[in-house]
Structure 1
Amino acid sequence: MPIPDDIDEPWKLMVADSLLRSLNHLGNVAELLGLKHYMDIMWVFTFAEQAAVISDDKVKVTESMFHEVPVIVYEPMQKKTEELRRAIIYIHGGGWCLGSAKMGPYDLLSRRTAAELNAVVVSVEYRLAPEHHFPTPFNDAYHAVKHFLQEQVLAQYSVDATRIAVSGDSAGGNLAAAVAQQIQEDRDIKLDLKAQALLYPVLQALDMKTPSYQQNEFMPILPKIMMIRFWSEYFTSDKTLYYAMLENRHNSLKSIQLMKFANWSIYLPENYRQKYTYSDPYFDSKDLSESISDTRASPLLVDDDKLRVLPKAYIMTCEYDVLRDDGVMYVTRLRRAGVQVHHDHYVIPANTPPCSVEVPRIPAWNYGQWSFHPQPRWIPQGPLDGAAGKNKDYLPYTPEVCPSHMDKRNDVLLG
């Protein structure tokens, strides 16, 4: 597929895509020959990006276990005062199969956030598919967050209980959204999150023919076939589901009943629908995977009552991204439920600068450092006043469509 004309420095995207495609072909061949699992080959990028977990003169970095889940905690070295700090719990992306909190870009992101915002950052190292299918990655993320929200743990890290956010990119955005929802259901958790920051999140597994899946089917970095592979590996090692999802014939009678929450003809603004015509996905009486209809895997599928109690949200979407419509539909549904949302839409592919920390490092390509920098600023200095964001630190939403070259930050949300 040709690179879109409005992409800055397209050669960088082409180089990254060539590397990914080469590894993809190698993974397919290795799996076909019975030598290695496809994801074992794709793991090369994660392994190559591993960074040393060490402190520096600005940030204290320690590895810990939160409810038997490995985490990396970043604490600013600023002079201690009586004032409590804000905190961000970050969940990395990688299609539930790849990625690590120890990757260089994620490590850099966490260090900068901790140092510049005087915030405690907890980066979660959850278990991955295909070794650990759903719900294990979700459970790991949830248990880590629940552990951190304990009064004694917050006191240990000098964290203000009213200024805690959960965030993640891509599959990490999926986990962050699901965690934010499930916290509201857990009576053992007495605290409310201040905010959720979801960066090009993947939010539903029902419809693989949304306009963005069709428009960006062959888009570099994350084509449709790769995203479907991630989804299927997250749920099961049975390839039957993978091939059914490729044809959008994977729904059961149970899952199709939830399409009312992910119907893009209802929740997508007209400019995102473009030339595409909606049709109900095919469904069968056979259930290929019960996980498809589980809201912990597809946060977009919860009903409005569960949306109304969620914290305010920052959602980033990218035009040339198969996941674009998942994020846009969630923006629509959250707003209709009364949740305050700030939505930034970038006219670039996801997983590319300034929207990525998942692709391999390329000289002079400062991905990750910028795009994730705005979202922690959702945690203002003042206390939370209501789960729906009724606090004076928040300014009303102004729609933003950001060209790829715009160095835009969400300072408006600081108050």
Structure 2
Amino acid sequence: MRTNRTILLLFAAITAYYVYLPIPGQVEEKWKLMITDSFFRSLSHLADLCELLGLKDYMGVMMFITVMEKVAPVTDERVQVTEEVFDGVDVVVYEPGQRQVGAGELRRAVIYLHGGGWCLGSSRMEPYDLLARTTVSELNAVVISVEYRLAPEHPFPAPFEDVYRGVKYFLQEHVLAHYSVDPARIAVSGDSAGGNLAAAVAQKLQQDPEQLVALKAQALLYPVLQVLDLNTPSYQQNQDMPILPRTLMVRFWSQYFTSDKTLFHAMMTNSHNSAKSAQLLKFVNWSSYLPESFQGAYRYNAPSLGAAAAEMDNGEEGPSSRPLFPFQAITDPRASPLLAPEGCLRPLPKAYILTCEYDVLRDDGVMYATRLQKAGVNVTHRHYGAGFHGALMFTVWPTEFQIAHRMTADYIAWLRENL
């Protein structure tokens, strides 16, 4: 009996030690977040072990999250759901049930791009399905959720190209007419890596001379926007925070470009810049673009030029049909929208940018908001002092957080007023 009790106490102590994280006091529902994060960490450790043993690659194991969260996109009494193909790209289309629109009346539309570090995620995951249904019901809008190909099997620029191709198809006048969409009331939106793709799409569209229909708005939810400096104050402050520790974000970035571990190791030490990328560091200089309240006690040091980056930067560029070489790809605004010059930012549509204090990506969003405002773009920056990365997706029990519902309500309210 005493032995069993000792084993039980020991197991409880080990479990508590594993689950516990020193989460800042401002974060709400801390224990729920610790327990939620312990699942992600356990899966990450299993993924590391499987990759080490040669059983399965890291992202292949982590894909369990996507599979576990998938639901069948079905029509209900309020929302009509169909699965379509837009120019070779799978999309899920959400419309108001029974086409709740009067004769000649047109509706808003939101093109939504899911997150997941370009390597995970799906528009068919339950949180995205619920967000799409909420958007449709609250705004009487059409939502287009794009199912783009994922890295590392399909590295950059494949995910961007999928999204851009799908968006261009939808923005054709006859397609908009088919879905009763007002061409003057269309937004692109996305969270995390989806926010990255949304920002890149918005930039690319306004540079396309053949594009007749323009976006009215862009809504970027804790977006990832640059890869040149992975040591900003938010990367340093939140390197061990749930749900996106620095190591995982660096892994996402490196695998977006290549499966070569050389890039991952260079990024971990923030020494992945080359002579070609160094000249663009001015666009991500957080000492210039971060308000002092976000800089804290951190001091700016420009990322160094790593030996590996310098060596690989001297390599020959492959045929244009192949993916861009990693150290050239990191300077591409389609991967890092924050690198776009002011002239490319000035014509962009009004923006909603959501950032969270306890998120390695916080400073990306803050800097982009600053640069857009300086370029004359109408920007609403909504910062959550108690927020953490991915919070918007936690709306269903047992991983339901009150902050997720507030974020959703604020996001919908902005779209209602600005779209």
After TM superposition, the score normalised by the length of structure 2 is: 0.88
Structure 2 residue aligned with 1:79: 100
Deviation at 1:379, TM superposition (A): 4.6
1:156 to 146, 171, 178: 178
Residues 166-196 of structure 1 show CA distances to partners (whole Å, capped at 9, x for unaligned) of 0000000000000000001112211110000
Deviation at 1:363, TM superposition (A): 5.1
Residues 76-100 of structure 1 show CA distances to partners (whole Å, capped at 9, x for unaligned) of 0253202100000000000001110
**Could you say if the C-alpha distance between residues 239 and 310 of structure 1 is closer, same or farther in structure 2, counting changes exceeding 3 Å?**
same
Equivalent pairs counted in the alignment come to 381
User: 1:99 touches 1:358 (CA, 8 Å); kept in 2?
Assistant: no
1:374 to 398, 410, 413: 410
Structure 2 residue aligned with 1:388: none
Question: Structure 1 CA distance, aligned partners of 2:395 and 2:130?
Answer: 14
User: 1:16 touches 1:360 (CA, 8 Å); kept in 2?
Assistant: no
1:11 to 31, 37, 56: 31
Structure 2 residue aligned with 1:317: 355
Residues 240-297 of structure 1 show CA distances to partners (whole Å, capped at 9, x for unaligned) of 0000000000001001110111100100001111111101111143325211111100
Structure 2 residue aligned with 1:43: 63
Structure 2 residue aligned with 1:275: 297
Which amino acid in the other structure matches residue 315 of structure 1?
I
Question: Structure 1 CA distance, aligned partners of 2:346 and 2:101?
Answer: 37
Structure 2 residue aligned with 1:132: 154
Residues 203-222 of structure 1 show CA distances to partners (whole Å, capped at 9, x for unaligned) of 00000110000001111211
Structure 2 residue aligned with 1:28: 48
Say which SS state the counterpart of residue 134 (structure 2) adopts: helix
2:365 to 327, 330, 342: 327
2:195 to 158, 173, 185: 173
Indicate yes or no: 2:378 matched with 1:340: yes
Question: Structure 2 CA distance, aligned partners of 1:227 and 1:127?
Answer: 19
**Could you say if the C-alpha distance between residues 376 and 88 of structure 1 is closer, same or farther in structure 2, counting changes exceeding 3 Å?**
farther
Say which SS state the counterpart of residue 227 (structure 2) adopts: coil
Residues 37-66 of structure 1 show CA distances to partners (whole Å, capped at 9, x for unaligned) of 101111111101111111000010000001
Q: How does 1:50-65 map to 2 (within 5 A)?
A: 50-65=70-85
Structure 1 residue aligned with 2:5: none
Deviation at 1:365, TM superposition (A): 4.0
User: 1:268 touches 1:328 (CA, 8 Å); kept in 2?
Assistant: yes
**Could you say if the C-alpha distance between residues 312 and 28 of structure 1 is closer, same or farther in structure 2, counting changes exceeding 3 Å?**
same
User: 1:113 touches 1:373 (CA, 8 Å); kept in 2?
Assistant: no
Deviation at 1:106, TM superposition (A): 0.3
User: 1:314 touches 1:341 (CA, 8 Å); kept in 2?
Assistant: yes
Say which SS state the counterpart of residue 283 (structure 1) adopts: coil
Which amino acid in the other structure matches residue 166 of structure 1?
V
2:143 to 121, 143, 146: 121
Say which SS state the counterpart of residue 60 (structure 2) adopts: helix
After TM superposition, the score normalised by the length of structure 1 is: 0.89
- Give the structure with the higher percent helix: 2
Q: Percent identity?
A: 58
User: 1:74 touches 1:122 (CA, 8 Å); kept in 2?
Assistant: yes
